[in-house]
Amino acid sequence: MHSSFVTRFCACLLAALFVVSGSAQTPAASPVDALKDAQQLFRRADFRGSAAAFRRLTEAPPKAEAYFGLVESLLKLDDVKAAEDSSQKALAALPESAAIHAARGDVHFRRGLIAEAQDEYKTALKLDEKCARAWLGQGKVDAVFVRRDQAKTAIAKAHDLDPEDGDALYEWAVRQPYPGNVAALEKHLAEFHNDEETERHEREYKELLKALAGRPVWIEAHKAERAEIKLELLTDIDLVTRGYGLRVRLNDRATVTLLLDTGSSGVTITRKLAEKVGAKKLSDQALEGVGSTGASLGYKAWVDKIAIGELEFRDCFVQTTPNEIAGVDGTIGTNIFANYLVTLDFPGRKLRLEPLPQAADDASHSRPGFSQAFTFGHILLVPTDVGKKASGLFVVDSGANVNTISPDLARSVPDMRSFNLPVSGASGRINSAWIADNATLHFATVRKTGEHITSVDLHSISKDLGVEVSGQIGYSTMQGMKVSINYRDGTVGFVEK
């Protein structure tokens, strides 16, 4: 297999990194052979080796292929700072390279600078409208703005332009209907390699798709125009408010209160409860989140019926976990109500579901008081300022009882002080290193002063999403608000009461 890198290089094409070569690199290797060797290391997921090999190739006259490979290798290693430095150097050396602008866009995207990433992808496409990597980046930007049709079109174009780009193949695969998605993921897993954790996620997702076999899931038995469901106050053993929950009945065999969690997806229950209600295992699935113990071993399971208030869902799949979460039997994510405008009226202790507003060309203006969020699956990220010097993307997370901030961003907040505080998450307990008692948070249309915020390592979440998550807006800040979510448009509104 020969790379399009050498014969028709559009420098952004990741195929350049994915060449199978039988030659071994030697000190006397020609630049073309050395490039092929570096590409082979990348394809084998030896990203440290490929980074070193591409870096050596940048020491001679600047070559876009080498700089592009170096930046993408560093991103695969999740060495974001080194990727940032290398992309700046590459852009200074090769300002007219579409590949380098696309790689710079990838760095911006990983850092959570979505607007800046989009600008770089657009610049790359102006320089070369057949730059596959720029089309891939633009598709990912469209996805976080919930421009689904545009995202699918851009990603398909990236895959058509460069079938040897493993990242484009993956993004294209997950957007295919069954069984095409399974076949494409099997091809990706067989031909392209990544770190162990990323490959495990992909295998688990593929196995879930096979188990579901294209069946419709989470079908609403009787479509309601609107609904209102009581929120249950949850407290810990010291009677400190933990958040709110919903009463949920599973398979008509057990009724439990699950923590209402805007930061989680679907329903997660303990394995003990899953066995009690007769949930049938579909596929293995690890559960990950905040914490230091790593992923907990669980599985996806089939539940015939789930009732929540007056709503009833049929043919559901849920996540199981070996341990309780927040001292309860599980969590329920608001994304299961995505066909409605979801309002969490915390002061009124009500969950309200209403018809979605008429779609607007600019979703951020579809309703007064709503702001655009960046959507990554079920996760909603909103740009947030902490004080005057720190800003980043924060998760709207009612399942987190406190506000959190990443250690890196915490260093930019003068009021943070050293403090050892245990914090619990889906992946166990960890200790916070820094805390502030009088922080000012500014997000969407809200400015809150006197807020408590604690540092928590969110790196695993950032790596999984491929974007920097700098903190969580937790229940402690939202408890006095009405929070409305429009999943269709990726918008969120906060009203203080």
Q: What is the mean pLDDT of residues 52-76?
A: 94
Per residue in 342-366, pLDDT tens?
999 999 999 999 999 988 655 444 5
How many angstroms separate the most distant Cα atoms in the chain?
Answer: 74
pLDDT at site 400: 92
Per-residue pLDDT, 430? 53
Indicate whether 164 pLDDT > 60.
Answer: yes
| 47: DSSP letter | H
* Rounded Cα distance, 361 and 432, in Å: 42
> Is the confidence at residue 91, as pLDDT, over 80?
yes
Q: What is the pLDDT of residue 16?
A: 35
The residues that bridge with 283 in the sheet, in sequence order, are 300
Q: With 60 as the cut, is the pLDDT of residue 291 above it? A: no
**How is residue 339 written in tokens?**
């066909």
Are 382 and 443 in contact, with CB atoms under 8 Å apart?
yes
- Look over the chain and give the mean of its residue pLDDT values, rounded to a whole number: 89
26-33 CB contacts, 8 Å cutoff, 24+ apart: 31/57, 31/60, 31/63, 32/6
pLDDT of 389 over the 60 cut: yes
Q: What is the pLDDT of residue 245?
A: 97
Do 107 and 84 contact (CB within 8 A), yes or no?
Answer: yes
How far apart are the two ends of the chain, measured CA to CA in Å? 63
Q: Is pLDDT at 292 greater than 70 in this prediction?
A: no
Q: Is the pLDDT of residue 6 over 70?
A: no
Q: Are 20 and 1 in contact (CB under 8 A)?
A: yes
- The pTM for the full model equals 0.89
Mean pLDDT of 2-15: 35
pLDDT tens per residue, range 439-484:
999 999 999 999 999 999 999 899 999 999 999 999 999 999 999 9
Whether 427 and 421 have beta carbons less than 8 Å apart is answered as no
Q: Which amino acid is at 457?
A: D
* SS3 state at 82: helix
Residues 256 and 330: beta-carbon distance below 8 Å? yes
- Strands (DSSP E) along 346-489, which ranges? 350-354, 370-372, 374-376, 379-386, 390-396, 403-405, 417-425, 428-443, 446-455, 471-473, 481-486
User: How many other CB atoms are there within 10 angstroms of residue 275's CB atom?
Assistant: 12
**Rg, the chain, Cα only:** 23
Q: How confident is the model at residue 422 (pLDDT cuts 50, 70, 90)?
A: low
Instruction: State how far the Cα of 231 lies from the Cα of 211, in Å rounded to an integer.
Output: 33
Higher pLDDT, 16 or 296: 296
Instruction: List, for residues 97-147, the tens digit of each pLDDT value.
Output: 999 999 999 999 999 999 999 999 999 999 999 999 999 999 999 999 999
pLDDT recorded at residue 174: 98
pLDDT band at 420 (very low <50, low <70, confident <90, very high): low
Q: Residue 155 and residue 226: Cα distance in Å, rounded?
A: 36
Residue 289 has pLDDT above 90, yes or no: no
| Domains along the chain with CATH numbers | 4-158 (1.25.40.10), 219-342 (2.40.70.10), 363-496 (2.40.70.10)
Element (H, E) at 476: helix 475-478
pLDDT greater than 50 at residue 195? yes
Q: What is the average pLDDT across 158-165? A: 96
> Residues 6 or more apart from 460 whose CB is under 8 A from it?
288, 427
Number of H helices, E strands in the chain: 16, 23
Pick the residue with more confidence: 414 or 490?
490
Number of Cβ within 10 Å of residue 324's Cβ equals: 13
